[in-house]
Structure 1
Amino acid sequence: MTGVHLVIGEGTLAEGVQQALREARQPVRAMRRPADRELRRALADERTRAATVIDRDDIAALRTALLVEYLRPGIRLVVTIFDRTVAEQLIRTIPNCNVVSMADASAGAIVGPCVDAGLVALHRADDGALVAVHGHDEAHASAGERPHVAPYPYHPPSAPLRAARRLRAQFRPPDRSSALLLWSLIGLVALVLLEAALAISTHREPAVAALYEATKAIAAVGPSGFFEHGSTWQRAYGIASMALGVVLTAVFTAALVNRLLSRRLTGTFGPRTIPRADHVVVVGLGQVGFRVCLELRALGIDVVAVEQDPQAPNVALARGLKVPVVIGRGGDRYVLERLSLGRARALAAVTSDELANVAISVAALAVQPGLRTVLRAGSNDVTRETAALFPIGVAQDLDRVAATALAATAIGRELAHAFVHGGASYIETPDGIERFPRPQGRPD
């Protein structure tokens, strides 16, 4: 596509799109936050052939996209929108609009290494089949050998296996309140069963009557009638069981009230229980982290998210979708120790702060050496310099991945996904994989 590409937006992603377009030998005009009058003048220029709107706020991006279409109907338009409902409405309203979500464009680069250490990326095709990008080691990648795409024969865990894992997780509570609730309940049930068994064995009482008297005694309604006139040891047992029942009932009630009144994002029972084996820990519940959680769960992989801000928008969404969320700082060793990293499949650090992701990876490896870690990197040298001194895991430049997808779409390329491997950007098209932009003087 010839003509000037108008890039509207600011930040690392917008700068990456501008750079990718220039490397593809496309004229670019950058506008950070243009006023309506400035945007009108830019779109009135006949040389402007395409506009790319980049904004992390969906409402702001939607407003700018509608304004661009109003000022220049039919122009090739590329917009970043996270919310899929908003994206569908925008495409329905503006048929010439192409919506690219940074989360959708880059989540596969995190999901792939989390599922399999040999994958560069993993995503789902339109027909639902899994497609994997297989990479090479650094020596082959630096020598120019490109990765290859192939169907990925992933088989999710069977329902009985997942049920067994969830059952085991029920007995490993993540915090003190949950532990008190669980073990006090188990203690109460054990006392009832023990007292009922004694009544049945020593007094030959029917099971229902024995359970009734045992429950009454444990609930501190009164002593069990079977032991009121029993031997000395039976009375001593009755005293001990009533005292223990009072304590366990008080502890259970306090723990239950605490859970009911607090804003818990994990469960002691059910689907929001923190997984304890073969799971992925996702630190950072922004747009990318939320999408990674959903993709992993769609694969049948248990996931738990860690988010520092309890008011983050995606926390409520995760709770509604029954994704367990631990509120805390991802680099906190105490928080990480509660997440069973020794049995985890991988940890993904995908906050928007590159330095924080490095710190999270280092802390996770301190808690569990050898853990597979995948972190969201950026265009800075922080991650690369740290990796040269310390093995921090797989670093994925998600800004570059998203910038490549946006730039290729703006030019008019039909692509499924973009990824970065061996320092080069690639796009996956219906014809296969190719470098983007293509190296000058070399056919791809």
Structure 2
Amino acid sequence: MSGSCASWRGHIIVYGLDDVGLRTVEQLYLAGVKVVVVEDDADPRLVRVVRGWGVPVVIGSPRLVETLDEAGLGGAVAVICVLADDLHTIEAALLTRENRPDIRVVVQLRNPAVGRALSALSISVLDVAGLSAPSLVESCLRTGTHDLDLDGHPFVATQVVADVSSRLRSRYGSLAPLAVTGADGGDMVVCPGRDHRVRTGDLVTLLGTAAELARAGLHGTAGAPVPVRSGRLRSKWHLARSVFSAVDRRLMYALAGLFLLATAAMVVLRLGYREPDGTRMSVLDAAYFTVETIATVGFGDFNFRSQPPWLRGFAIALMILGALLATTFFALLTNTLVTIRIEEALGNRRLKQLNGHVVVVGLGSVGVRVVERLAGTGTDVVVIERNENNRYATQVRDSGVPVIFADATLPQTLHRVQLPSARAVAVLTSDDLINLETGLAIRDQLGEQGADVPVVLRLFDRTLAATVERNFGLGQARSTAALAAPWFVGAALGLDVIATFYVGSQLMLVGRLTVAPGGGLDGLAMQDLSARTRVVAINRAAADGALEHPPRRDTRFAAGDQAYLIGPYEELLQVLRRDTLSPSGLADVARARAKPDVPGRRGHQASI
């Protein structure tokens, strides 16, 4: 099947078939785009899946010109490189750029410095962890809100519980309804019309500006602001709490003994001590002499040579008891402070004070991004990681987040991180089986409290994720590959993907397209689009770029307009390609931009 690809035109080549690669190929296939996969160490199971879609797979290294020739690089319009190894990704991307300087190249890369270097070569660099982290954080915090920026205008997608039974239009006005889920947990209605009737208790997802939310009486639904302390202030606060909690009874007993001894000494000295001229000690003199004696300083300001025998005996007892109590107190205090410093360095001390925190299991590229975003909101975070040599552990600990090296499936580990008082748990390792085992162990430990603590699982397989949610009740299964794949598809097709997020278990895509003259959308009424796709705003070319929100259903697209759409990604990709980016349109673009030859490439065919 791969041999026929060399003469293809207007197709997209995907390097790599693991994780994001498979989801990217799937979305391109669903959108009707011709795709060729290049993989030198492909999983036979994944190859069978892709070939079952009619997508050819070229078995070979994308770092070889011969393999790229076989995949039809000469007639391709874009290349998506999602190899597992960053070094191989860099080599394949540079080789592609050398042989096709005009082709659109999109790569997955985790190193920001290398990413900036590739961007200078007109290579689009995307990071799966950074693209998927916002949705994972929202699932943990359960704010029910997603902040969107449409052409510099801030919008908020928020979830509310319907307080009355009515039509959407009469209760929420101009707010754009994105989804409605029945109070009984029934099927979700995606992008319903404003005349859709909701019942009290239904979960409604709406999109609008802050002013529109306020007019609908929903200004408080955007999520209560989370108090954010600066890193230095938070560090001092946790240290103060650590000191207070570390003060054990022995230290308190020693301090109480010193206080009682000093008080008794001040009373005795005030009443019994006489100077040679018969004057008594003042209260300040008694306090000064007591501290001087207990501290074994002995400046010679006062002496007991001329005092009664009982007072000299009391002085002896004061010196002995004072020295013993003071030594004990300072020894216990030193031990406490040293213990605090050691446990702070290991991240253990803060664990005892955690409440309303988020437990993150797995400190990979996705986990560290989620931790950074959670900490940025002022949320306490604790990390469980198996690998003691984890590359991100020092970075996370330096930011004040405790990291525990242990097995998250063990009850003692979950007890150590104060699981019952946690706000949420995010299981983010790169292994689906480990994530599932950990999620089940967490559910067992939480028991009846499990309904109050959301468990967010990172699962690659979407079918597995849906099955886990239905049968195990583990909460929310999220696929980072599914969240990130639309960005790669959009970048390859020349589209502008603004955001991806989940509404319940439905992945939603926010995209922007520019209507092409004479294309499939030019002159089309918005009401004629898919019922599961919503145009939330449109930037009119004829109105000097003024943003029209919300547009009327009978509004027609015009050439040059920029439309902002929200919907399930499968259908939105179809809409985004309905204009100039249909399979035939891609081929037309390739032919229009064809050049006779590109220097430096052996046997190069017509390029775009």
Instruction: Tell me how far apart the structure 2 counterparts of residues 126 and 322 of structure 1 sit (CA, whole Å).
Output: 36
Match of 1:102 among 114, 123, 128: 128
Match of 1:7 among 5, 11, 14: 14
Give the direction of change, closer, same or farther, for the CA distance of 1:281–1:379 in structure 2 (3 Å limit): same
Match of 2:227 among 149, 152, 157: 157
Note the alpha carbon deviations across 1:151-180, whole angstroms, 9 max, x for none: 6455221659x979974785469xxxx976
1:158-173 alignment, distance < 5 Å: 159=229, 167=237, 171=241
Shift of 1:73: 0.8
Q: Which amino acid aligns with 2:64?
A: D
Question: Structure 2 unaligned runs (5+)?
Answer: 1-8, 41-60, 160-178, 193-204, 210-221, 270-282, 298-302, 305-310, 513-563, 579-608
CA contact (8 A) 2:13 2:73 kept: no
Out of 423-432 and 203-212, give the one that drifted further: 203-212
SS of residue paired to 1:277: coil
Out of 391-400 and 31-40, give the one that drifted further: 31-40
Instruction: Tell me how far apart the structure 2 counterparts of residues 277 and 72 of structure 1 sit (CA, whole Å).
Output: 55
Structure 1 residue aligned with 2:280: none
SS of residue paired to 1:7: strand
Match of 2:509 among 392, 415, 427: 427
Instruction: Tell me how far apart the structure 1 counterparts of residues 66 and 253 of structure 2 sit (CA, whole Å).
Output: 71
SS of residue paired to 2:74: coil
Instruction: Tell me how far apart the structure 2 counterparts of residues 193 and 330 of structure 1 sit (CA, whole Å).
Output: 46
Instruction: Tell me how far apart the structure 2 counterparts of residues 128 and 186 of structure 1 sit (CA, whole Å).
Output: 58
Instruction: Tell me how far apart the structure 2 counterparts of residues 213 and 400 of structure 1 sit (CA, whole Å).
Output: 73
Instruction: Tell me how far apart the structure 2 counterparts of residues 90 and 184 of structure 1 sit (CA, whole Å).
Output: 61
Q: Which amino acid aligns with 1:417?
A: A
Pair member with larger Rg = 2
Structure 1 residue aligned with 2:196: none
Match of 1:388 among 470, 490, 494: 470
Give the direction of change, closer, same or farther, for the CA distance of 1:266–1:40 in structure 2 (3 Å limit): same
Out of 274-283 and 288-297, give the one that drifted further: 274-283
Match of 1:318 among 396, 420, 445: 396
* Structure 2 residue 74 is the aligned partner of structure 1 residue 46: yes
1:277-426 alignment, distance < 5 Å: 277-368=355-446, 369=449, 370-379=452-461, 381-421=463-503, 424-426=506-508
Q: Which amino acid aligns with 1:372?
A: P
Instruction: Tell me how far apart the structure 2 counterparts of residues 305 and 315 of structure 1 sit (CA, whole Å).
Output: 9
CA contact (8 A) 2:363 2:393 kept: yes
Shift of 1:90: 2.2
Shift of 1:379: 0.7
Match of 2:325 among 241, 247, 251: 241
Give the direction of change, closer, same or farther, for the CA distance of 1:280–1:399 in structure 2 (3 Å limit): same
Out of 39-48 and 336-345, give the one that drifted further: 39-48
Give the direction of change, closer, same or farther, for the CA distance of 1:188–1:389 in structure 2 (3 Å limit): farther
SS of residue paired to 1:79: strand
CA contact (8 A) 1:78 1:406 kept: yes
Structure 1 residue aligned with 2:103: 75
Structure 1 residue aligned with 2:116: 88
Instruction: Tell me how far apart the structure 2 counterparts of residues 361 and 299 of structure 1 sit (CA, whole Å).
Output: 25
Instruction: Tell me how far apart the structure 1 counterparts of residues 291 and 240 of structure 2 sit (CA, whole Å).
Output: 26
Question: Structure 1 unaligned runs (5+)?
Answer: 218-224
What's the Cα RMSD here?
4.3
* Structure 2 residue 151 is the aligned partner of structure 1 residue 137: no
Give the direction of change, closer, same or farther, for the CA distance of 1:154–1:54 in structure 2 (3 Å limit): farther
Instruction: Tell me how far apart the structure 2 counterparts of residues 89 and 142 of structure 1 sit (CA, whole Å).
Output: 44
Give the direction of change, closer, same or farther, for the CA distance of 1:382–1:432 in structure 2 (3 Å limit): closer
Give the direction of change, closer, same or farther, for the CA distance of 1:126–1:66 in structure 2 (3 Å limit): farther
Structure 2 residue aligned with 1:221: none
Aligned length: 422
Q: Which amino acid aligns with 2:325?
A: S
SS of residue paired to 1:264: helix
Instruction: Tell me how far apart the structure 2 counterparts of residues 386 and 292 of structure 1 sit (CA, whole Å).
Output: 22
Q: Which amino acid aligns with 1:70?
A: E
* Structure 2 residue 50 is the aligned partner of structure 1 residue 22: no
Instruction: Tell me how far apart the structure 2 counterparts of residues 111 and 214 of structure 1 sit (CA, whole Å).
Output: 56
Instruction: Tell me how far apart the structure 1 counterparts of residues 83 and 287 of structure 2 sit (CA, whole Å).
Output: 67
CA contact (8 A) 1:425 1:437 kept: no
TM-score after normalising by structure 2: 0.58
Shift of 1:111: 1.0
Instruction: Tell me how far apart the structure 2 counterparts of residues 123 and 357 of structure 1 sit (CA, whole Å).
Output: 30
* Structure 2 residue 142 is the aligned partner of structure 1 residue 116: yes
Q: Which amino acid aligns with 2:109?
A: I
Note the alpha carbon deviations across 1:157-215, whole angstroms, 9 max, x for none: 1659x979974785469xxxx97688777777666656555544544556566556546
Out of 203-212 and 44-53, give the one that drifted further: 203-212
Q: Which amino acid aligns with 2:139?
A: P
Shift of 1:28: 1.0
